[in-house]
Amino acid sequence: MTQDTDALAAMERILSPHCRVTRLSGGALIADWRRTRFLGMTAADVRKFADRDSEERAELVIGLVRAGCATAGSKAYTDAEVGLWLRGGHLLIRTLGFGRVLRLLPLVAPAYARTDIPSPADVARLKRAVEAHSRSSWFVNDDCKTEAVTAFVLLRRRGFKAVLHVGVREHPFALHAWTSSAGLCIPDADPRGHSFTPVLSIGG
């Protein structure tokens, strides 16, 4: 039983976020919710996923990649890519408005997408890149809404759990947006020591 659980966990780690794996008596069922299709695997094939050094496991992974159920690797975004997403997100917010952009977020991170817990190091790396590009760009100009939306989209596109918050402060009145993931916030939830009460959360 433990071996089967380990094998299923190993399989789920390499599957795309839109795929879910369910254990069956004779193996496992992979549900691809983006394409609405299903792929069955035998118990013997499932056990091969527990052995990272197995050539047979490598062949199975290649097969899943070709079928569109797995990615070759969940690589981190480069600084240049973060900058492009940040400027594109800011342009979208200025064109459509922040409220409309928030309503579009479920299209980027649909309900069927699996969300794993990212490592704090991954989130910290993304936070440094987002804030560095935001402060150095005259176009974005350190805008919290753009930073929060960009962080949320980039994390969810990698299949990571993230929650976007919009908060309010009464005295003096102000609004603030941030994305939380792995115990970190992008940007900070309490800039300059001011606390904000969340009034809207997306992805929680």
- The total number of structural domains that make up the chain: 2
Does residue 42 lie in a domain region? yes
Residues 90 and 186 in one domain: yes
Mean pLDDT computed over every residue of the chain: 87
Q: For 143, list phi and psi in degrees, rounded to 5.
A: -85, 120
- Cα distances from 128 to residues 10, 64, 101, 117, 125, in angstroms, run 30, 34, 23, 19, 5
Residues 141 and 195 in one domain: yes
Residues 141 and 42 in one domain: no
Does residue 113 lie in a domain region? yes
Query: pLDDT for 77-118, tens place per residue?
Result: 888 999 999 999 999 999 999 999 999 998 888 877 878 888
Instruction: Look up the pTM and report it.
Output: 0.78
Residues 84 and 161 in one domain: yes
**Could you tell me the residue range of the domain that residue 28 belongs to?**
2-66
Residues 96 and 124 in one domain: yes
